[in-house]
Structure 1
């Protein structure tokens, strides 16, 4: 057995026990469409044992009427892991939650924050913030169908809504429906006039609004999301919320996650080194290739691992180009690693 198999254990508390889900929510990696698939989550779990990982959003109809195995399958090492569902039909969401429970997810989350046109046309995502009672019906139906916590991820408002009155009204409806926690992106979503990309940057951030919501709803856990890019910012939000959710910063610079267990959970562990990570991912890729997966589907999540090191550009080039070649195998990862200056072995990224 390889020397790096320690990476593959599940999250452990300081006393060797598994942390509670509420503790794990102190830090989570956001659900990101086309990004946080199971290969991405496997990599992130090597970097943090304690944080909560999210799937990308899965349409409830795809779970109920499609290939549930393809959409919901995950590796046990990913625990704790939350499934994010998109939809607005209470009965369909209930059935999707029931199916998801059989797969062993730790939490089931409803997306009420995505601003894309594709999502709006299906009547789910951020547009549902205008229909709090419908969302409450969805939450009730999901809770009736599963024994797992049911949570909601939302924005502070949409379009011309008053973020004080409308967010409180939405949150009160969720509490009345029995929601277990809220994840709040501290921006409005402008559904008219802004693209999904613009909605991630143009609407101003309003962190104090999320802080006030958390105070008002206590003891219901309220986690904050949006525009958080550094460990210093994570640390600044923690005393004022019940947890911090990191999105694109964690994806593009995954080595940030190597310090999360120490910074957020107070668990001292040796930061995973790049060499050990590459070796662990090469082992993982070997098993996935044997099941018919393609190497580039794994390699694309690893492009940022060498950020900040001499040779990072060539690392990315080898990983993005060579991994797409016919017959590419885990040796591509080792070839990419050879391009990186590893003289400072203590450096985490």
Structure 2
């Protein structure tokens, strides 16, 4: 069964092309994150007036809220080229040195999952961000020498879903740090409205509201659900969506009325029925549903905690009363009662 969710899964080129086409190209087109947009606009305007590269930018927050899009906007509004990389791809200082030395003056370097860079690369990045210089070690042992290499001035845009894992020296070298928040339903409706026009689909307000309600506060998920609704309309020879079409399309993909999908419900079901509401350890819960602990912790758990269905305690995960109500299961005494929280 397919899950419409944030996960590390293969995406075909047509899907990537559509996702790219739906991305806004400027801060004026970007929906939501009003405070961050205002701060970034000031940062970019000041850099343009002073004819210098913009300060380094750190974007943190859950997946799918627009960090990569904002990095692209920084490059577009600065009139500079954009270089894309990721923390897992930079596992040696030499990888970073090769990347930095190839940058052109003023280029914007985007490093996704910057918290997953190798420690040796992080330490090299400190000097590069501050002085636009790196030291290359030549030789080994007592005969090793350090050769300084000057870099072209650049703007680093780092993105992270776990800012707490960034070392303080690296975090302090960013001139501007922004935390992206989950979207309100009204903001998601505006995202869906814009995307529907670009996809050539008629989605009236009631249908937009229904898609937004199931989108977990995340624009990327909203756009993916919209594309599934569009597919349903194409297959059934329709040009416009209504509530019935949205329900039929998203029910097919196991996305329920509040955005929970198959894996979310499997986790809740195991927690409520198999473990009597908990507490239960993350690894045990992952084994019970046949998933990796990292997937449960980074993909499923944040949303369940945010909507009040799951609680985290020193003794493990527990099901909250709202989870019992959603599953239609009478609340039972758990190993750790709600009054003990």
Asked if Structure 1 and Structure 2 have the same fold, meaning a TM-score greater than 0.5 normalized by the shorter chain, the answer is no
TM-score range (shorter-chain normalised) is: 0.3 to 0.5
Query: Whose radius of gyration is greater, 1 or 2?
Result: 2
* TM-score in terms of structure 2 length: 0.35
TM-score norm. by structure 1 comes to 0.35
